[in-house]
Amino acid sequence: MMKPSYQQMDAEVLQQEACYEGFFTMKKLTIRHKLFNGGWGQPINRELFERGEAAAVLLYDPVLDVVVLTEQFRVGALNEPSPWIFELVAGIIEPGETPAEVAIRETQEESGAHIAQLTPICQYLVSPGGTNEKLHVFMALLDSTDVGGIHGLEHEGEDIKVHKISRQQAYQGVVDGRINNAATVIALQWLQLNIDTLVNN
């Protein structure tokens, strides 16, 4: 059984200050933590990108055997061949919201589709070496017949194109690297591993 050597109480934040506060927040922390050989380490400084939690949904139509993916511009992909990324419907979890509520709301806002039932895939820390962002990933079955078009909230600067892609073609995008963002890779791999169970139920 895997069990961490230490718990939350075995790390201390000695000091923190805001380096930047805008759409996101960057903090400088002075921390110390217990060492594997016993005792406490010396204080160290680390910058923490505070992104919070988000929810993402893989939309799958089992009748047509297609997935619904969004395409939108992403500033973090400016150095890629194209900064327009194929990805899951996703959104930031605001205070008082549950991951499931956000998944259902963002599906409506970003794709125009309505879903009611979610299947949890996983939750993971995106890059814990420098950010506290945590992503909750779901799958939802839907009838994609009338899904498509351009969506998003204008006041949030969203310009989102919806694509219906065959499951096999989407998974091939994972294999050949055209789909290279973690949440979408994880969700499509999960779908490929569980497709027999989904179709037979």
pTM of the model: 0.91
pLDDT value at position 201?
66
Q: Which domains does the chain have, with CATH numbers?
A: 8-50 (no CATH), 53-200 (3.90.79.10)
Q: Which residues belong to the active site?
A: 156
Beta strand extents in the chain (DSSP E only): 11-21, 25-33, 44-50, 53-61, 66-73, 84-87, 89-92, 119-125, 134-141, 150-151, 160-166
For residues 37 and 18, give the distance between their C-alpha atoms in angstroms, rounded to a whole number: 32
Return averaged pLDDT per consecutive 10 residues of the chain, 201 residues in all: 92 95 91 95 95 96 96 92 95 95 94 92 96 96 92 80 96 95 97 88 66
